[in-house]
Amino acid sequence: MKSYLLFILLLFPLTLTAQNVEFNASAPGSVEEGRRFQLVYKVNKPGNNLRAPELENFQILMGPTTSQRSQVQIINGKVSREEEYTYTYILKANAQGTFTIPPATIEVDGKKYESNSLKITVVEAGKEPGQTPGVTENQSGAIGDDDLFITMRANKTSVYQDQPVLLTTKIFTRVNLEGISDIQHPTFRNFIAEDLTGSENIEWSLENINGKTYRVGTYNQKIVYPQTSGQMKIDPISIEFLVRIRQTRQSNNIFDNFFDTHRTVRRTVISDGVTINVKPLPTPKPNNFSGVVGKLDMDVSVSSNQVKVNDGITLKTVISGTGNLKIADSPSLNFPPDFDVFDPNTSSNLSITSNGNKGSKTYEQLIIPRHPGTYEIPPVEYVYFDPSIEQYRTLRSQKIAIQVESNGEMAATGSQQPSGPAAANREGIKFVGKDIRYIKTDKNNLQPINTFFFGSWKFVLGYLIPLVLFIIIWLVYRQKIKENANISLKKTRQANKVARKRLKKAAHHLKSGNNEAFYEELSKGLWGYISDKLVIPLSDLSTDNIRQELESNGAQTDNTEKLLEILDTCEYARYAPAGEPAKKEGLYQESIDVISKLENNLKGKKA
* DSSP secondary structure of 127-144: --TTPPP---GGGS----
**How far is it, in rounded angstroms, from Cα 439 to Cα 318?**
61
Helix axes 515-534, 543-552, angle to 10 degrees: 40
Q: For residues 250 and 300, is the Cβ–Cβ distance under 8 A?
A: no
Nearest Cα to Cα of residue 279 among 356, 165, 168: 165
For residue 447, count CB atoms less than 10 angstroms from its CB and return exposed for 0-12, middle for 13-18, buried for 19 or more.
exposed
- pLDDT for residue 295: 93
Total length of the chain? 607
pLDDT (0 to 100) of residue 320: 93
- The set of long-range contacts for 378-382, using a CB threshold of 8 Å and a minimum separation of 24, is 378/334, 380/298, 380/300, 380/317, 380/331, 380/332, 380/333, 381/288, 381/331, 381/332, 382/288, 382/290, 382/296, 382/298, 382/317, 382/319, 382/331
Q: Are 305 and 402 in contact (CB under 8 A)?
A: yes
β 306-308/400-405 pair status: parallel
The pLDDT score that the predictor gives to residue 460 is 81
User: What are the pLDDT digits (tens) for 171-229?
Assistant: 999 898 888 888 888 888 889 888 887 656 788 877 778 777 788 899 989 999 999 99
Over residues 326-370, the pLDDT tens digits come to 888 888 888 888 888 888 899 999 898 888 889 999 999 999 998
Nearest to 418 by CA among 408, 409, 427: 427
Q: Which residues of the chain have pLDDT under 50?
A: 1-17, 126-140, 411, 413-435, 605-607
Stated pTM of the model: 0.45
SS3 349: strand
In 3D, which of 519, 193, 228 has the Cα closest to residue 326?
A: 193
Backbone angles phi, psi at 551, to 5 degrees: -70, -35
Helix (H, G, I), strand (E, B) or coil at 35: coil
Q: Return the pLDDT at 81.
A: 75
Cα(48)–Cα(269) distance, integer angstroms:
37
Q: What domains does the chain contain, in order, with CATH numbers?
A: 2-123 (2.60.40.740), 141-279 (2.60.40), 295-405 (2.60.40.740), 492-601 (1.20.120)
> Angle 115-121-126 (CA atoms, 0-180°, nearest 5)?
135
Distance CA 426, CA 173 (A): 85
Pinpoint the alpha helices (H) of 317-456.
Answer: 408-411
Helix (H, G, I), strand (E, B) or coil at 543: helix
